[in-house]
């Protein structure tokens, strides 16, 4: 058999191809230096609290001396889409919007699940816990997790709360599953308030805001699941921008900070007050 000879160029091409194929799916987003050179910080917001996230993200951009460019995403799940527009929870990759530089970060109060950590790096903003919200007239009938069996739930698709319900339906509630209807958070809260749904689940911060300020016939019933950390998300490897956000967060821990003012306006309670509230409520 005749031996195959490779030229130096063949070898170089082979090495480059192998490097690209094994470089992993963690293509980095734009560096802080690139962001400063472009003179715009691209933040992508999602969810019913997008106005809150926008205000907080703009405060961060202002601290960097950079103009914020805001994009509202079509869905919550879009934050995690790969190049094919699909979220694969078990896979590790950089979400397409961050990989391509369309977004530099997500200031969207993301619960820091393990599957999300495969795709993103985070800076912790606060702790929370999933909270069941019911109509005040149903509070005597829905007192514990078991009481949710067979009930009608309204929830935003693709959220932590939706995932919790689906997992319960496959396990503890398999004999009497929750009937799930997908709605925006706004619609879900209003559905509970009008008794069109028996309950919804939202983070403690959101539950506090909604029941105090927007849906006066609804109340918080109880917590489900463990306490979790919530934060802003950045592409993996983007250490400079993430570290800048961490330092900015530290500067916002003083009562009367920009974050306190924004939360007071949008949530009805300052962020520092919420931090004390959640410590007292969840005991951590």
Residue 147 reports pLDDT greater than 50: yes
* Residue 155 and residue 201 in contact, taking contact as beta carbons nearer than 8 Å: yes
Dump pLDDT digits (tens) for 166-220: 999 999 999 999 999 999 999 999 999 999 999 999 998 888 888 887 898 999 9
Dump pLDDT digits (tens) for 226-250: 889 999 999 998 689 999 999 999 9
* Residue 233 and residue 106 in contact, taking contact as beta carbons nearer than 8 Å: yes
Amino acid 74: pLDDT = 95
Dump pLDDT digits (tens) for 72-127: 999 999 999 999 999 999 999 999 999 999 999 999 999 999 999 999 999 999 99
Amino acid 26: pLDDT = 54
Output the pTM of the full model: 0.78
The C-alpha atoms of residue 73 and residue 122 are separated, in whole angstroms, by 19
Instruction: Point out which residues pair with 230 in neighbouring strands.
Output: 111, 126
Dump pLDDT digits (tens) for 41-68: 999 999 888 999 999 999 999 999 999 9
Residue 23 reports pLDDT greater than 50: no
Q: How far is CA 8 from the centre of its chain?
A: 49
The C-alpha atoms of residue 109 and residue 69 are separated, in whole angstroms, by 18
pLDDT band with cut points at 50, 70 and 90 for residue 7: low
Q: Is 3.40.190.10 the CATH number for 129-227? A: yes
pLDDT band with cut points at 50, 70 and 90 for residue 267: confident
Residue 22 reports pLDDT greater than 50: no
Q: Which fold has domain 26-127+229-282?
A: D-Maltodextrin-Binding Protein; domain 2 (3.40.190)
Q: Where are the domains of the chain?
A: 26-127+229-282, 129-227
Distances (CA, A) of 137 to 115, 133, 199, 217, 240: 37, 12, 12, 8, 50
Amino acid 15: pLDDT = 40
The C-alpha atoms of residue 54 and residue 70 are separated, in whole angstroms, by 7
If you average pLDDT over every residue of the chain, what do you get? 89
**Percent of the chain clearing pLDDT 70 (strictly above):** 88
Mean pLDDT to the nearest integer, 24-50: 86
């Amino acid at each position: 058999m005749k031996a195959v000879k490779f030229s130096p160029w063949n070898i170089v091409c082979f090495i480059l191809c192998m490097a690209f194929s094994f470089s992993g799916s963690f293509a980095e987003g734009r560096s802080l230096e690139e962001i400063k050179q472009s003179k715009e910080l691209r933040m992508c917001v999602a969810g019913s609290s997008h106005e809150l996230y926008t205000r907080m993200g703009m405060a961060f951009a202002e601290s960097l001396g950079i103009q914020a460019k805001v994009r509202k995403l079509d869905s919550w799940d879009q934050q995690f889409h790969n190049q094919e527009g699909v979220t694969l929870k078990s896979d590790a990759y950089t979400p397409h919007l961050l990989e391509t530089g369309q977004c530099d970060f997500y200031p969207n109060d993301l619960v820091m699940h393990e599957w999300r950590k495969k795709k993103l790096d985070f800076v912790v903003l606060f702790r929370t816990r999933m909270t069941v919200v019911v109509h005040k007239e149903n509070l005597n009938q829905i007192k514990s997790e078991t009481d949710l069996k067979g009930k009608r739930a309204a929830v935003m698709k693709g959220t932590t709360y939706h995932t919790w319900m689906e997992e319960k339906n496959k396990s503890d509630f398999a004999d009497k599953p929750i009937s799930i209807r997908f709605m925006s958070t706004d619609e879900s809260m209003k559905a509970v308030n009008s008794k069109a749904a028996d309950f919804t689940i939202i983070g403690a911060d959101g539950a506090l805001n909604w029941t105090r300020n927007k849906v006066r016939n609804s109340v918080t019933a109880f917590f489900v699941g463990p306490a979790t950390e919530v934060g802003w998300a950045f592409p993996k490897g983007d250490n400079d921008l993430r570290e800048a956000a961490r330092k900015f967060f530290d500067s916002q821990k003083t009562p009367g900070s920009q974050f306190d003012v924004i939360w007071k306006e949008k949530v009805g309670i300052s962020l520092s007050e919420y931090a004390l509230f959640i410590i007292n409520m969840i005991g951590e």
